[in-house]
Amino acid sequence: MLGRRLFSTETASKLIGVVGGGQMGTGIAFVGALRAQSKVLVVDGNATQLDKSSSFMDSLLSKQVQKGLLTEVQAKEVKSRVRFSSKIEDLSSADFCIEAVSENTELKQNVFRALDKVAGPDTILATNTSSISITKIAAVTSRPEKVIGMHFFYPVPVLELVEIVKGLATAQTTVDKTVQLARAMGKTTTNALDVPGFISNRILMPYINEAFLTLQENIGTPEDIDTTMKLGTNVPMGPLTLADFIGLDTCLNIMRVLHENLGSDKYAPAPLLIKYVDAGWLGRKTGRGVFSYAAAIKK
């Protein structure tokens, strides 16, 4: 079922810009085009990544067709609303920009410096950060009142939540427009203070980190740990499987943000988590994390 349009028919040419063609960015573009029925421009400096983004978009639409949620004609219509570019300057006509690059403060600040230069003066600049200070990101722009956190959850087409995070200078009108966009994308929103990890990762990442400490101390096997938490707390997957799903490098980056900014040893990353990342065992995306996914990747 197609979602309601974010913009009125008189302004249907308006554009959502997404910076970052990874799975998060592509997922955001997908819900923008499908549910908000908006035109979307995905920007990534890596041409290979843009090709992957386009292919991933096709696979998402194909699943919608297979499930009977879209017809082939509707799927083509949705895809026609999405464009891909390697030039951030092409976002000059975007009315709302969402950054979805890796969880690295310097990288995100560099993206926002560039967006601030090319985007129109009324354009809202949102970050999909899962732990980094919105205020710190906004400080590198000339429009901190128009900078906001818009934390989507992976996989974006499936999970319903968007965490809305105001920076110190974020205007209420920016919040209102961001909530409007999130709801047009079919999302439920929550509001969180601009503190490390916000609500979700302030709770989730220490839980995952503790699972690594439990594994490190041989209190249980990976299977025992995950089965205990999955069946004992009625969650869809155990913490170690979830970490592999998120990406162990992402989990480690968030734990480091929590540890550095909150200053408590309870947020210190588990040595075993660090070791896995150093080994390149990052989870499903590399075929190996706590568990092996080589067979799944071959398929």
Q: Which residues are catalytic?
A: 130, 151, 163, 201
Q: 10 Å Cβ neighbour count for 93?
A: 15
Structure token pair of residue 16: 């959502």
SS3 percent helix, strand, coil of the chain, rounded to 5, is 50, 15, 35
Query: 17: closest CA among 8, 28, 4?
Result: 28
Tokens of 160: 């319903």
- H/E run at residue 84: strand 82-85
Judged on CB neighbours under 10 Å (0-12, 13-18, 19+), 83 is: middle
Structure tokens given for 262: 């909150």
The burial class, CB within 10 Å (0-12 / 13-18 / 19+), for 182 is buried
Q: What distance in Å separates the CA atoms of residue 190 and residue 199, rounded to the nearest whole number?
A: 9
